[in-house]
Amino acid sequence: MSSPFRVLLPLLLALPAAAAPPLVHGAVPPLHERPSEGRAITGPGSRDGTDETMRVCMLRVQFLEDFTDLTTGSGLIDLDADPPHDRDYFRGLADDLSAYYDDVSGGEVVLDIDIYPSGFNDSYTMDHQMLHYGDDGAYMEGACLLLRDAVLAADQDLDFSQYDAVIVIHAGSGQEADIYGDSPGDIGSVFLTLTDLIYYLPGAGTGYQGIPTGDGVYVAEGMIVPEQESQDGFGLGVLGTIVHEFGHQLGLPDLYDTYTGRVGVGGWCLMGYGQWMMSGYWPSAPSAWCRVYLGWEVPREVEEGTYTLAADDSILMVPLNGTEYLLIENRQEDPDGDGMCGTDEHDFGLAGSGVLIWHIDRTRLGEYVGANIVNVDPEHKGVDLEEADGIQDFDYSLPDIYGYEGSSYDPWFPSGYAWEFSPWSEPSSDASWGGRTFVTVEVLDDPADEMQVRISRSTVCDGWPLSTAPLAFGPVIWPEADEEGDRMVVTTSTGMALAYTADGEGPLSMGLGVTAPPVSAWTGSSSRLLVCEDDGEVHLRDTRWNEPAGWPVTLQGGGSGASAMYIEEEGVVAVACDNDRLHLYHGNGEPVDGFPVPLTAPVSGLALYPGPDEHRLLAATLDGRVHMWDMTGRVVSGWPATPGDETIGVPLAADIDRDGSTDVVAVSGDCVYAWDGGGGLLPGFPSTLPAEPLSSPCLADPDGDGRLETVVLTWEGISAVGPSGATVEDWPAVILQDSLTAGFSSGRAGVGGSGFVMVTMDDGRVCLLEGDGSQSGIFPVSVGDRPTGRPLLWDPDGSGQYRVAAAAADGTIYCWNTDFEPRGWHTGMDHSGCNCWRTGDLPALEDTDRVLEDGSFYVYPNPVTGGSGIVRFRPGEDCAWEIRVFNMGGDLVAHMTGSAPGGAAWEETWDTRDLAPGVYFVSLSLRTGGSSTEALFHAAVIN
């Protein structure tokens, strides 16, 4: 077959969802199609699918003759066509279908297709006209009815128990090929599953097993395709439609956008737009992902090196992070170079040749394959072709050939549009949501049957990344674990605590049946790992599993540890267990008098409250309480605090406002709470977050003034709340997130210090934000879906060269080299699980001698809309304040007074609901112990 058969219709536009990608916009109503759910024919005596040959019955059907212009043809099989659509014609289609899959599967799919009825010109005539089945108002119902009626009509002629699949091939053309949109009664090609039959077929419903046959089996799945696709004067082939729909029978999803009809991956894959290559007469082969997914080919997983890609049998897999990877293949239009389309050259209709780079995101596979929505989000596809020209032709282009078939600029090769796919190319090797992976793919050869590619990865530390079993906790740093130095510890979902060296060597097993995040314990002479196990024992182990005298201990009253911390100053171990008790043990393993104490609900997290005279213990519980006890087990007066929401994170303790006394911070529901040591709320709290939280809080000093902000990941981004309850200027950092993977986890938190905060996102990004919320350097980087614990700032050799480490839920652990160096204090220095920071460790306070910080007084939003605005100012020290608002005529229209702590931004709500639109003068007066000041601001009001 030669190139003149390649027809592209300039009418083509992005299309609504359909079984086969339609040729024109709006040709087919949206379908709820999905790949095969298992076996097409079920019941006693049915084939079990283990036979190497897949037996298929093809049922020829026609309709009662019609005379309407709403359908193509007369409703009858076209025996007057050239060639006539007799048995030989359908045998040719069946043989072409068999040959196609035998070739593209490398012999893995062998089809034996029988055609019914057996008469040369015969077909089964349905009891209705085509329009009965093709009515757009009941599209899926009509398709299910056609499958049922065809099966029942053929039941007398064949034994369905001897087949694995059913093809109904009907008179007329498919609605997907209705170029001019003038035959809306045509039937769109579709693959139907048992779910479709249960939902759409009249009289089916729950418990329906499929279409019953006289052979004791049920037809649960089947595909509907037309006898031809030609109509409206355009000669189109039906083979592409048939092989596309049969791809669903094999388990493949559509790789075009089934919501809008955008072509997804274009002509480079059968399940995208490839069925229409060479006008449907010669569909392209399935993509590398399809062939791997169906088990036809096994990719070679590689990290770095130079590799040869053969056009016929090699696919490279390059991991990007824990949940994304590249598949790299060599596709050639005409491998033998003879200019002719050979029987095994199914890529002859492609737009070009070269190396194709496919970006695969497993977070958009799995259940998305079953729902047939793999590529519905053009920004975050499950299977995405990285187009070398950097133009998203398949998603945003004009309706031209490039936007449907693809172009010769899509493959990668030196004399083409681009040959290097890297962090700096466009498109880049970044992860789906933007985190950098630092992978580079260089294509070294022009298109040929064998092409070399060079794979490299920068920035990732030697020995990393690592891959272990799915994780429950971690990572944590175990400083000076042994003569090897620091170790990183993670805990798998099966309860194995694994320790790795800074070079990625290991793992060293540090516990079995682990039930709480392990923490570091410096016992005075040696470094230990505090490990809770499911037999109720609590261990203090070194790397050789040696323990101090008196250890392990067994929790009194049963249960196993859910959260633990080691308090070095006291030499004691605190453990909250899963039967709602808090235990405290001396360094010799003896229980501390007064413990255990009862908890009111399961624990969310523990913290140490470092008081001036004695330490205290903090616990947040899932009934929305924050508790405090002294070291004898007595409840401290004023506690528990009751923010009340079960979505509560790990509590923190530090002097956030730098007034000399330690405060307690927690997030509950969509609010940040801060209390003094007596349980009283600090001024300005609770502070409402812009959205519900996704993490526990961490403390940081992003603005570098020495006072601590509470940083929380929320659905709207990363929020930073100051010590007076006001949001830090330039925050929150609004970062688009993957709503399909995001969810609250109390075990996740960020790391903060002077001028920075580092957090992980559920989509795998590790973000290091500077004081203004921006990112620079290598950030964000990507570890993989749903990072666990907190990211690490790690300087294992004490050289001042910090690494960043993070672990994904699937067990992928990354460690990156950075040029970032924290300025002194940061919260990642807590390795003991105490979640507290003593005043002596905190950053130096910013000196100020001003009553009102320059530039800190303003109103936002300006103009004020929605009935209220915020008056914001930052006093240099504790003060009394007065706000007066005047209209243009000098009339006082609002008056507010109060007090505010020094050194932090303070906000007051200005009610403008009763004010006329216009400009107002907002006057601020501040009075401290020895001085005062006044300031004026102009604000507009629009109501």
Give me the helices (H) in 135-191, please: 139-154
Structure tokens at 160: 């369905």
Tokens, residue 373: 């929505």
pLDDT at residue number 218:
98
Q: How many residues belong to the chain?
A: 943
- Continuous segment of H or E residues that includes residue 291: helix 288-293
CA distance 178 to 140: 18
Q: Residue ranges per domain, the chain? A: 40-251, 260-458, 858-941
Within 174-287, where are the H helices? 194-200, 239-250
The answer to whether 393 and 263 have CB atoms below 8 angstroms apart is no
Q: What is the pLDDT of residue 24?
A: 52
d(C-alpha 558, C-alpha 408), whole Å: 68
Residue 96's H or E segment, with its range, is helix 87-104
Using CA atoms in the order 642, 643, 645, 650, what is the torsion angle rounded to 10 degrees? Answer: -90
Pairing label, strands 879-886, 892-900:
antiparallel
Interatomic CA distance for residues 763 and 757, integer angstroms: 18
Phi (first) and psi of residue 546, to 5 degrees? -75, 150
Q: Who's near 4: CB < 8 A, 6+ residues apart?
A: none
Query: Mapping DSSP to helix (H, G, I), strand (E, B) and coil, where does residue 154 land?
Result: helix
Q: Which two tokens mark 525?
A: 């002479």
Name the region of 791 (left: φ>0; alpha: ψ -120 to 50; beta: rest): beta
* Run of H or E including 134: helix 130-134
Q: Are strands 581-585 and 53-62 parallel, antiparallel or unpaired?
A: unpaired
The CA-based angle 844-849-850, given to 5 degrees, is 120
Specify which residues 666 forms β-bridges with: 673
Contact (Cβ atoms closer than 8 angstroms) between residue 835 and residue 650:
yes
- Cα separation of 382 and 392, whole Å? 15
CB distance 306 to 299 below 8 Å: no
Query: In angstroms, rounded to a whole number, what is the distance separating the alpha carbons of residues 501 and 487?
Result: 5
Over the chain (943 residues), what is each successive 10-residue block's mean pLDDT? 31 38 55 86 89 95 95 95 96 98 96 97 97 92 97 97 98 91 92 96 94 97 96 90 97 93 90 93 96 97 95 92 97 89 88 97 94 93 95 64 80 96 96 96 97 97 96 95 95 98 96 97 91 98 96 96 95 96 97 97 96 92 97 97 92 95 96 97 96 95 93 95 95 87 89 95 95 92 94 93 96 96 89 92 83 94 95 94 96 96 94 96 93 95 89
461/467 Cα distance (integer angstroms): 14
Residue 354 region by backbone torsions, left for phi larger than 0, else alpha for psi between -120 and 50, else beta: left
* SS3 assignment for 689-749: CCCCECECCEEEECCCCCCCEEEEEECCEEEEECCCCCECCCCCECCCCCCCCCCCECCCC
Q: Which residues contact 623 (CB under 8 A, 6 or more apart)?
A: 600, 601, 646
Walk across the sheet containing 906-911 and list its strands: 858-860, 868-873, 906-911
Give the residue among 773, 776, 766, 774 at the shortest CA–CA distance from 816.
766
Residue with tokens 């979902």: 493
What's this model's pTM, rounded to 2 decimal places? Answer: 0.91
C-alpha span between 184 and 180 (Å, rounded): 10
CATH superfamily of 858-941: Intracellular proteinase inhibitor BsuPI (2.60.40.2360)
DSSP state of 290: H
Locate 236 and state its tokens.
Answer: 């189109």
